[in-house]
Chain A
């Protein structure tokens, strides 16, 4: 997709593939064939770091929200698959635009409160954020809000890969003790390996068990940017760069089992 559009964000997408597959295929209670904006009776997910749209679109299509063939239109004129996720073109599975960073947690807080006001106490709202995204002040406004309003049907994941566009998060704008920060804001903090399915499985169970007790839950999910393609792994250089023809061939060669239908 990113190669086809000659632009996009492969690094974070590959790093969150395992998480999104687990979330959409095993964890969320959803009805893709009855897609509607309100999602009543369903769990909801908000991608706050909208630039990893390639992997989200890929997972949404494979989960049945739209045809896999539409992925080829990514970032092209007249497509529903905008460079960053949007509702304007009516792509099923997306409930709010994201891309300008830091806004998804606020939206998720509102959606989680709507679930409670509508009496859907058994349903969960999930979010995903980049670690660099946590530099946005609005994230911490939302963190205060969620704790203050005891939004305990909300489980947020941080894609904790330590990389952002200009380099290592530590060098660009250090997050310090991230777990202590969330804890100080009144959240239950969990940690996991975002590439270990059994660890993700345990974490989802633990997060839901921790929910419903008056506190929101955040999971610091360790990932490798560019996971699965050796020359993309662990570097910010593939945050927002598309592979050329040779690089694509080399990358797909390393991912034959997961991308065989590319």
Chain B
């Protein structure tokens, strides 16, 4: 991994940009090659989810569900009976809100080993608008007992996480997205469910983030570095179970934290961070998240900027929370 603080702009511009959903598609193909008990279902979005390679390689183990997501979740629950490991694929909106009761009863409460794979999460779905831009899915999924919740930041991490969830016994909600974003992890960067990834070590403020906002947080850390502020940056790819030890260790050194996520503040990563720290180490916190609003049409970059998830917004939140730590007016 490059040193993101000292790297020049040309190095950042030269990073390969790929979509996380393609990391999922590649990962699914690989786990399919490795394990013949892996099956996949898709609700008429095979191309969008990049599941074509799996479908072509293993036509018998790919089940087209049509535009009928509730049934797809139930079928997946049934496929686990007999030892198969089903991966369902559709947009995050149709993977959660549309099928909450099916996931709750037939998957989570029934303890079924279903992997709910959700692309096009959040604002960065872009031009389709708020009907498709779900920003509440992490909250819904993390509330369900037995459910593991993962949100990945780049192509390689998504590919590696696909292997990890296949090896994990139990239901998983796996959230990733549509736009091409810089690949900042290596193919062999270990992905361990529930173990946060340290992106950079610093001493003045902790940023805990995940998904597409990891990159914006890196850019925020560069802005702050120019001001002499040292950021401890944690990629909390697993929202549940939260890596509480990594979080507490970081804030014990920095004394303040900014959570940054492509999700509503209500129910998101920041809320999990606050719940953890209020119990173990009460810490000043600022939230970078969507503030009780629906999204709208636009390009991913425009939307992240407008809804306050851009690098400047993250840097501003860091300055504010450091002022609180120092007892200054924020």
**Distance (Å) between the CB of A146 and the closest chain B CB?**
9
Is residue A128 contacting chain B, with contact meaning CB distance below 8 A?
no
Whether A110 pairs with B81 at a CB distance below 8 angstroms is yes
Q: How far apart sit A107 and B76, CA to CA, in the bound complex (Å)? A: 7
Q: Which residues of B contact A (CB under 8 A)?
A: 39, 60-61, 63, 65-66, 68, 70-84, 86, 101-102, 104-106, 109-112
A141-B70, A149-B63 in contact; A110/B77 too (CB < 8 A)?
Answer: yes
**Distance (Å) between the CB of A160 and the closest chain B CB?**
22
The 8 Å CB contact of B63, one of A38, A99, A113, is A113
Whether A138 pairs with B71 at a CB distance below 8 angstroms is yes
**Distance (Å) between the CB of B100 and the closest chain A CB?**
11
The 8 Å CB contact of A141, one of B60, B71, B112, is B71
Q: How far apart sit A107 and B103, CA to CA, in the bound complex (Å)? A: 12
Is residue A118 contacting chain B, with contact meaning CB distance below 8 A?
yes
Whether B84 pairs with A114 at a CB distance below 8 angstroms is yes
Whether A38 pairs with B106 at a CB distance below 8 angstroms is no
Is residue A103 contacting chain B, with contact meaning CB distance below 8 A?
yes
A145-B68, A148-B66 in contact; A100/B82 too (CB < 8 A)?
Answer: no
**Distance (Å) between the CB of A250 and the closest chain B CB?**
36
Chain A: which residue is nearest B145 at the CB level? A88
Whether A106 pairs with B63 at a CB distance below 8 angstroms is no
- Sampled A-B contacts (30; CB under 8 Å): A86-B110, A87-B109, A88-B109, A88-B110, A95-B81, A96-B77, A99-B105, A100-B105, A103-B70, A106-B70, A106-B74, A106-B102, A107-B78, A109-B75, A110-B75, A110-B76, A110-B86, A113-B78, A113-B79, A114-B79, A114-B81, A114-B83, A120-B82, A137-B70, A138-B71, A141-B66, A141-B68, A142-B71, A144-B68, A145-B65
Whether A97 pairs with B105 at a CB distance below 8 angstroms is yes
Q: A96-B112, A111-B79, A117-B79 are in contact. List 15 more A-B contacts (CB 8 A).
A: A37-B81, A40-B82, A44-B81, A86-B110, A99-B105, A100-B105, A106-B106, A109-B71, A110-B80, A110-B86, A114-B78, A138-B102, A141-B68, A141-B71, A144-B68
Question: Please, which residues of chain B bring their CB within 8 A of the CB of A109?
Answer: 71, 74-75, 78
Question: Please, which residues of chain A bring their CB within 8 A of the CB of B65?
Answer: 145
Whether A97 pairs with B78 at a CB distance below 8 angstroms is no
Q: How far apart sit A88 and B81, CA to CA, in the bound complex (Å)? A: 15
Q: Give the one of B66, B72, B76, B79 with max A CB within 10 A.
A: B79
Q: Give the one of B63, B70, B82, B112 with max A CB within 10 A.
A: B82
Question: Please, which residues of chain A bring their CB within 8 A of the CB of B76?
Answer: 110
**Distance (Å) between the CB of A133 and the closest chain B CB?**
13
Question: Please, which residues of chain A bring their CB within 8 A of the CB of B78?
Answer: 46, 96, 106-114
Q: How far apart sit A108 and B79, CA to CA, in the bound complex (Å)? A: 9
Chain B: which residue is nearest A139 at the CB level? B71
Whether A98 pairs with B111 at a CB distance below 8 angstroms is no
Whether B79 pairs with A110 at a CB distance below 8 angstroms is yes
Question: Please, which residues of chain A bring their CB within 8 A of the CB of B39?
Answer: 117
A37-B81, A141-B70 in contact; A103/B63 too (CB < 8 A)?
Answer: no
Whether B81 pairs with A103 at a CB distance below 8 angstroms is no
Q: How far apart sit A115 and B82, CA to CA, in the bound complex (Å)? A: 7
The 8 Å CB contact of B109, one of A86, A114, A117, A145, is A86
